[in-house]
Amino acid sequence: MTKHTGKKVNINLRFNVLTVLIYIIGIVLIVKLFSLQIVHGAEYREQSNTRLTRESTLEATRGSILDKTGTELVTSKIEFSLEMYKSKVDTDTLNTSILNMIQVLEKYECSYTDTFPIAIDPFAFTISDESLAKWKETNKLDANITAQEAFEKFRKKYEIKNTNIQEVRKIIAIRYLISQKGYSSTRALTISQDIPREAVAEFSESSEKFSGINIVVKPVRQYTSGNLASHILGYAGKISSEEYESRKSHYSSNDLIGKTGIEYVLEEYLKGKNGTKQIDMAVDGTTTAEYTAQEAISGSDVVLTIDANLQKIAEDALSANIQKIASGGFEKVYNAKAGACVVMNVNTGEVLAMASYPDYNPEDFVGGISQEAWNNYNNNQAKPLVNKAIQNSYSPGSTFKMVTAIAGLESGVINLNTKINDTGVYTKYRDYKPRCWIYTDYHRGHGYLDVSGAIEKSCNYFFYETSDKMGIDNLVRFSKYFGLGTKTGIELRDETAGVLASKETRPTIHPDEPYWSPGNTLQAAIGQSDNEFSPLQMARYISMLANGGKKVDVSIVKTIRNADGSEVAREEMNQFINKKLAIEPDTTEDIELNQSHLKAVLEGMKSVTSDSGGTAYVRFKDFDISVGGKTGSAEAPNNQVHAWFVGFAPFENPEIAIVVMVENGGHGNYTAEVVRDIMAEYFGMNTESVEEDMTAIPYIEIMR
């Protein structure tokens, strides 16, 4: 009995304690709830109002592009843009906020987007009748409504109470933009770009006056030297819908992306990695706090092999030369409008300058190119957007003859003592009797010439005979060794492979006449037939002649520097570029050239510039540096004659090779002026171009 009663008392006690605990907890919860809702209710409601958090992108600064000396050719400047988010405010507050915003923008002369098609004072529609009819229909307006009546419709629609008609128009402009473009609490609408720091400060200091605005810090591409090296640098523009679809994981729909040139090829290095910023905003749209969630990482800098000063000289000299040819400055007027120039280190293959004329201004593409500017570029017959140094190929004419000479010597069909008698007309074949250029002009031949003399005089007959003896296959073999008819592998897109005249390529080019004939060999030997090479390929070929016949790896990118100061390994960079541009490895045969053969050919090139009978003597007779060179005048379609000059210097210890080509430039001799001016800059001679009295120069000296 006693034990039973004890258990009952114990159970009752436990029940009572549990009841008391529950009661106490309930009292605490009630007190806490009272504190939250009544005592601190206003405070916590205010805090909750500021916890509307938006995430904003911190755009990474795009890497710069520099020349070999560190001069910035492309960089990024910081630009501030004004955005607007949707906020939970009444219509009057929204309209007042918009007016306040516009007044600040106008105070600092900032432009803003205004597509509302009604002007005031006087009232008038600002779009064409055809567009106006569609606009009225879209906005459900009567077809006969006047501009003033339509204006009042929009004033009423947006519930604008202002009486100042000018202010009403400004508010409508932004409200109309919102209705057209849309925005939300998480998706902003850009109102104005490139606003000054003073405007940014005023927006920040008086944020309570502006509902839902946000200042965005955005790096904007800047091409610091205008048109300089435009075809090398390329340009960057807003990512297209197609580009965005394939890159969604790393890009936003408003990102900048490289389109051409280095901007395109090294996009992945230049871009950098965006960061994120958190923005706390009250429901009325005012910003209460900002903080960085993830830092942006700047893109890598790309250092090129070009020298900005030499690049400018090359571009200026090429432009002046083309204009001089076109204006009759060399005795006869030619319709010259375009050309290209390449300067290369003969030992490394580094491109020191590369010019293509006409050029363009990459700044025109920043923020989107205007239709007018695009039409001007696109409709220009000289095609300023095409890099003619690498994207176009041309018949090389007589500048190819050194290949024929080397092939003839190396194959043994001629030797250093061989002399061929140029009688003017090559008569071996009954159905094809080509003439040497001197016979065409003077009805005679050059007489007996050895290989050096044949190059000096640019004797077609000598190379007809040499090629006929060795055959096209030998000529093709050595042409391939010098890299002709194949891409150089330069770090730029859309490089052409050109065409090397051969039995293999002829059926593709001439399906109606697929068979190779002896006449095709004769023409190929003097740089005609189907031969077409880019100026860059020609620069590689001349570099190999000058450096003793060694292959060179053509390059225009010196290094890539990461934001942390480290450099990208050359192997990594090459693998990336080769994959992106689908560059195939060099599989051409290695040939060890007989140096005595090469010396004879180079001596012929020296005679071109240093002997009175040389085809470019008049350009270099007073030059302080010894130069090896060769002129070329290549027949082209539509009765055009492309003008070439290829050269290297100093002759005794070559450092640079220069190739110049002018479309329909007449005679290769003319383009030698460009080479002379570039060499003067490179070797620190600081000389100016000297105008020659062409009337005093025998015509024979300026041929070929």
CATH of the domain at 655: 3.40.710.10
Return the ∠ at Cα 124 (arms to 123 and 125), rounded to 5°. 140
Look at the block and give the residue holding tokens 């936003």: 252
Element (H, E) at 355: strand 351-357
Residue 658 CA to residue 346 CA, distance in Å, equals: 9
Residue 604, both tokens: 């012929």
- Domain assignment present for residue 281? The answer is no
In angstroms, how far is the first alpha carbon of the chain from the final one?
136
Look at the block and give the residue holding tokens 């120039």: 341
Say what the pLDDT of residue 694 is. 40
Strands (DSSP E) contained in 469-584 are: 557-561
Mean pLDDT of all residues in 151-166 = 95
- Name the phi and psi angles at 692, rounded to 5: -90, 150
pLDDT over threshold 80, residue 698: no
Say what the pLDDT of residue 44 is. 47
CB 456 within 8 A of CB 608: yes
Instruction: Tell me the pLDDT band of 253, cut-offs 50, 70 and 90.
Output: confident
pTM of the model: 0.83
pLDDT over threshold 90, residue 689: no
Instruction: Tell me the pLDDT band of 459, cut-offs 50, 70 and 90.
Output: very high
Per DSSP, 682 falls in state: H
Per DSSP, 88 falls in state: S
Residue 315 CA to residue 324 CA, distance in Å, equals: 14
Residue 550, both tokens: 């060694």
Residues 537-558 have pLDDT tens digits of 999 999 999 999 999 999 999 9
Question: Of the ranges 34-38, 288-292, 403-407, which one carries the lowest mean pLDDT score?
Answer: 34-38
- Domain assignment present for residue 626? The answer is yes
Residue 164 CA to residue 161 CA, distance in Å, equals: 9
**Number of domain units in the chain:** 1
Q: Work out the percent of the chain whose per-residue pLDDT is above 90.
A: 74
Q: Which of 131-135, 279-283, 391-395 has the highest mean pLDDT?
A: 391-395
Residue 452 CA to residue 227 CA, distance in Å, equals: 41
Residue 616 CA to residue 461 CA, distance in Å, equals: 20
- Comparison of pLDDT for 614 and 305, the residue scoring more: 305
Instruction: Tell me the pLDDT band of 47, cut-offs 50, 70 and 90.
Output: very low
Instruction: Tell me the pLDDT band of 582, cut-offs 50, 70 and 90.
Output: very high
CA atoms lying within 13 Å on the CB side of residue 33: 6
Mean pLDDT of all residues in 303-330 = 97
Please give the residue range of the domain that contains residue 673. 308-359+388-702
Spatial CA neighbour of 230 closest among 143, 325, 317, 314? 314
Residue 38 CA to residue 46 CA, distance in Å, equals: 13
pLDDT over threshold 70, residue 211: yes
Residues 652-661 have pLDDT tens digits of 999 999 999 9
CB 284 within 8 A of CB 89: yes
Residue 669 CA to residue 674 CA, distance in Å, equals: 10
Residue 703, both tokens: 């041929």
Instruction: Tell me the pLDDT band of 206, cut-offs 50, 70 and 90.
Output: confident
Per-residue buried b or exposed e for 409-447, using 16+ beta carbons within 10 Å of the residue's own CB: bbbebbeeebebebebebeeeeeeebbbbbbeeeeebbb
Say what the pLDDT of residue 590 is. 93
3-state class of 599 per DSSP? helix
- Name the phi and psi angles at 127, rounded to 5: -125, 165
C-alpha 499: how far from chain center: 25
Mean pLDDT of all residues in 129-138 = 93
- Domain assignment present for residue 70? The answer is no
Say what the pLDDT of residue 367 is. 79
Residues 349-385 have pLDDT tens digits of 999 999 999 999 999 998 788 899 999 999 999 999 9
pLDDT over threshold 50, residue 687: no
CB 111 within 8 A of CB 191: no
For residue 81, what are the contacts with CB-CB under 8 A and spacing of at least 6? 190, 192, 193, 194, 195, 215, 216, 218
Residues 625-667 have pLDDT tens digits of 999 999 999 998 888 999 999 999 999 999 999 999 999 999 9
CA atoms lying within 13 Å on the CB side of residue 269: 27
What value does the CA radius of gyration of the chain take, rounded to a whole number of Å? 37
Residue 565 CA to residue 24 CA, distance in Å, equals: 64
> What torsion do the CA atoms of 397, 474, 517, 668 make, to the nearest 10 degrees?
0
- Domain assignment present for residue 375? The answer is no
For the chain, give the number of residues: 704
Instruction: Give the mean pLDDT of the chain.
Output: 89
- Domain assignment present for residue 73? The answer is no
Instruction: Tell me the pLDDT band of 700, cut-offs 50, 70 and 90.
Output: very low
